[in-house]
Amino acid sequence: MDDYINNQVTEENENRATRRVKTETHRSGPEDSGRRLYRMVAVSFGMLCVLQVTLNILLRLVYAERDQLQTSYNNLTVERDQLQTSYNTLTEERDQLQTRYNNLTKERDRLQNLLCEKPCCFDGWRKFDSSCYFLSTEDKTWEESRQDCLKRGADLVIINSREEQEFIFNLNKRVWIGLTDRQREGTWKWVDGTTLTTEYWYDPQPNNSGPTGEDCAEINNDQRPLKAWNDSPCNRRLNWICEKVV
């Protein structure tokens, strides 16, 4: 009888304990879940705040760099426009000076013609000793240059003296002169048929080194005044000097 009573008491206690655990489990389960959810929401919100702050900082840096680049571009544009304006002004001044120089040169030639003994040189010609000289402003072959001189009642220049050589050299142009060995290689003659006697070649000229021959003479103004002649292909295009004896 006692054993039965004890078993009943023990079974009842176990049932009470089981109900207590279930009751506590039922009471504590939803509350813990809510707390965990709250913590997750709080952490997520915090991370979003950090991301927002980081994004704001990055955007500010990007905008600041963009503004700096725009400012640099604007400054360079202003500087470029200033340089272009300066260039245009200098170009205009250069053209004005060139025009003035040309006018003064014409006036000088005109006055020289008024002062020289008759017959005098025409406008555009320069007088030296007893000849008038015309310096071209365009390039032609040696034969074309000679034909131009003949049309002007002159011929390619014949250099007869050291003074005349220095005068032509000081015109500061690379020019054809009336000297050629086209009839016979190595025998240089002036356009009037006279054989060359006084020479002003620079070493190692004349060397006839061109693939088609170098049979016409030029004055190379990059050399020294009395060492300035060079043999060159006759089809080369250069300025030229016409001479008319007056």
- How sure is the predictor about 190, in pLDDT bands with cuts at 50, 70 and 90? very high
Whether residue 64 is predicted with pLDDT greater than 80 in this model: the reply is yes
Of 35-44, 124-133, 164-173, the range with the lowest mean pLDDT is: 35-44
Element (H, E) at 230: strand 227-232
Of 108-112, 114-118, 214-218, 242-246, the range with the lowest mean pLDDT is: 114-118
| Number of structural domains in the chain | 2
Question: Is residue 103 included in any domain, yes or no?
Answer: no
Domain endpoint, select from 89, 105, 133: 89
Question: For the domain that residue 225 is a member of, what is the CATH number?
Answer: 3.10.100.10
- How sure is the predictor about 2, in pLDDT bands with cuts at 50, 70 and 90? low
Q: CB–CB of 129/160 below 8 Å?
A: no
* Same domain for 129 and 236: yes
Whether residue 131 is predicted with pLDDT greater than 80 in this model: the reply is yes
| Cis peptide upstream of residue 211 (ω within 30 degrees of 0) | no
Whether residue 198 is predicted with pLDDT greater than 80 in this model: the reply is yes
Question: Is residue 177 included in any domain, yes or no?
Answer: yes
Indicate the average pLDDT of the chain: 85
Per-residue model confidence (pLDDT) at position 21: 47
Give the three-state DSSP class for 195. Answer: strand
Per-residue model confidence (pLDDT) at position 181: 93
pLDDT per position as a tens digit, 95-121: 899 888 878 876 776 676 566 555 567
- How sure is the predictor about 159, in pLDDT bands with cuts at 50, 70 and 90? very high
What does the block give as tokens for 35?
């707390």
Per-residue model confidence (pLDDT) at position 65: 87
Structural domain that includes position 46: 1-89
DSSP string, 119-169: S-PPTTEEEETTEEEEE-SS-B-HHHHHHHHHHTT-EE----SHHHHHHHH
Give the whole-number percent of the chain exceeding pLDDT 70. 82
Per-residue model confidence (pLDDT) at position 146: 97
Question: Is residue 189 included in any domain, yes or no?
Answer: yes
Whether residue 209 is predicted with pLDDT greater than 50 in this model: the reply is yes
* Same domain for 132 and 224: yes
Q: State the average pLDDT over residues 27-37.
A: 69
Question: Is residue 104 included in any domain, yes or no?
Answer: no
